[in-house]
Amino acid sequence: MFWTRFAMLLKDVTQAPVNPRKKPRQARAQATVDAILQASAHILVRQGFDGFNTNAVAERAGVSVGSLYQYFPNKDAIIAEMVRAKRSRLLTGLQAAEAAHEDAGLSEVLAALVAATIAHQEGWPQLSQALDRAAALMPLSEEGAELTAAILGVLHRVLRHHDVADAEVASLDLLALCRGMIDAALLRGEQDMDLLQARVMRAVLGYLGLRAM
Amino acid sequence: MFWTRFAMLLKDVTQAPVNPRKKPRQARAQATVDAILQASAHILVRQGFDGFNTNAVAERAGVSVGSLYQYFPNKDAIIAEMVRAKRSRLLTGLQAAEAAHEDAGLSEVLAALVAATIAHQEGWPQLSQALDRAAALMPLSEEGAELTAAILGVLHRVLRHHDVADAEVASLDLLALCRGMIDAALLRGEQDMDLLQARVMRAVLGYLGLRAM
DNA sequence: TCAATATGTGAGTTATTACTCATGTTTTGG
DNA sequence: CCAAAACATGAGTAATAACTCACATATTGA
């Protein structure tokens, strides 16, 4: 019928509230969600973004597409959740490093933060990279934005605590600097993390006008 | 999601010299190609990768899809050409900076190189970023790879000429460091290029163990 | 002038894939 | 034990977009 061609005009004029999918309540549901996330990571690393489609993810996870869409409103939400989890882990690592060196000198705290950042990326650098890229291209969820702010916040707090001038800009610069160096190094397969750490620290301390430790 | 629309990673691993299309011979054909590239840039910046499809590009360029496919064998080739052109421009800028400071001290040459890099990204930071990202996801054309090597080569040569140890690794690190800081700063809308330059130089000189100029 | 060649056209073909829904199965609370 | 709620299924639908092709127009060179 001709009118079906106009059905699109009727749908969803009002903005959708980013589809509240159900949360898993039973253990098997949680297992399904975990399987989906694990399969997603696997596919992202092995096939890249091109192989990453919901059918493939569901198949590899051993669940049906229908199940996938019970817990993720759309494909992006899977990526968003992986990014969220990754950010959350980094934040935890940084906070731990901060706490463990509360009374130490600036260089020492920064070294701990850099080490935590490297360790965080090291495990699965290809997945880390893929997720970082995706994160840059996606509108962040509210929680994602909060986590990003909190990550920057740790650095900012440390710098201010040690009376660094322009802590605001410095934290942005240092984060970008570290990310750039670490990503590039891991991407080209670098193995020696201590060496990488030392090089990053030279740049960081140089930026701040401090001498090497 | 942008990545599903790119053939980049999976197709023709083993084959196809990715250029079986005709080169423009008449002026109007060159105009067509230019229009396509310009439209592509516009769409990439305004709509991102999601809006970047051949139909949209052709429409905005004011040509037909058929014409587009006369000069570009596939969608990726458009991006590849933009990346190639961008790399080529950067290389030219760096070589000019190098030549203009042949007999100067290391700090001075580096400052010129950093300035050239900033100037290069400054014009359209969003396009720069989009292309950088795309380049990371695409297999480089032969010429693209050569350009990348040449860009690194300039830095490498400068470092070696001034007897920097580990010039190989240092050039990789410094390039990544600069890219990271500059991209981030321009994307968040920073305006003061002299200030940015000074901050980048602090990191660069610190990395090399040199004092500020 | 007039073929040969270069360039331009855009509706149509085709493959892909995000996402739905009618229906079936399992778990839970009372 | 039994309904209701949670969970799972996967063939099917519909939208999208890469790319083709048969044909039209413009330019060139002799």
pLDDT for residue A8 = 31
Domain ranges of chain A: 18-73, 79-208
Shortest Cα distance, chain B CAs vs residue A92, angstroms = 23
Architecture in CATH for domain B22-72: Orthogonal Bundle (1.10)
Which nucleotides of strand D lie under 7 Å from a protein CB? 6-12, 14-22, 26-28
What is the mean predicted confidence (pLDDT) over B126-150? 88
Exposed (0-12), middle (13-18) or buried (19+): which is A88, by Cβ within 10 Å? middle
pLDDT for residue B16 = 36
Residue A211: HSE in the Cβ half-sphere, 13 Å Cα cutoff: 0
Residue B13 has pLDDT above 80, yes or no: no
pLDDT for residue A105 = 96
What SS3 state is found at B162?
coil
pLDDT in tens, A163-205: 999 999 999 999 999 999 999 999 899 999 999 999 999 999 9
Pick the CATH number of A79-208 from 1.20.58.340, 2.10.10.90, 3.40.50.620, 1.10.357.10: 1.10.357.10
pLDDT in tens, B106-120: 999 999 999 999 999
In this complex, the nucleotide whose C1' atom is nearest to the CA atom of residue B33 is C7
In this complex, the nucleotide whose C1' atom is nearest to the CA atom of residue A78 is C18
Shortest Cα distance, chain B CAs vs residue A27, angstroms = 31
Residue A41 has pLDDT above 50, yes or no: yes
Which nucleotides of strand C lie under 7 Å from a protein CB? 6-12, 16-22, 26-28
pLDDT for residue A135 = 86
Domains B22-72 and B78-208 share a fold: no
Which helix or strand (DSSP H or E) is residue B124 part of? none
C-alpha A146: how far from chain center: 12
Please state, in angstroms and rounded to a whole number, the distance separating the CA atoms of residues B80 and B69. Answer: 14
Superfamily of domain B78-208: Tetracycline Repressor, domain 2 (1.10.357.10)
CATH topology of domain A18-73: Arc Repressor Mutant, subunit A (1.10.10)
Closest CA in chain B for residue A205: B206
What is the mean predicted confidence (pLDDT) over B174-199? 96
pLDDT for residue B142 = 86
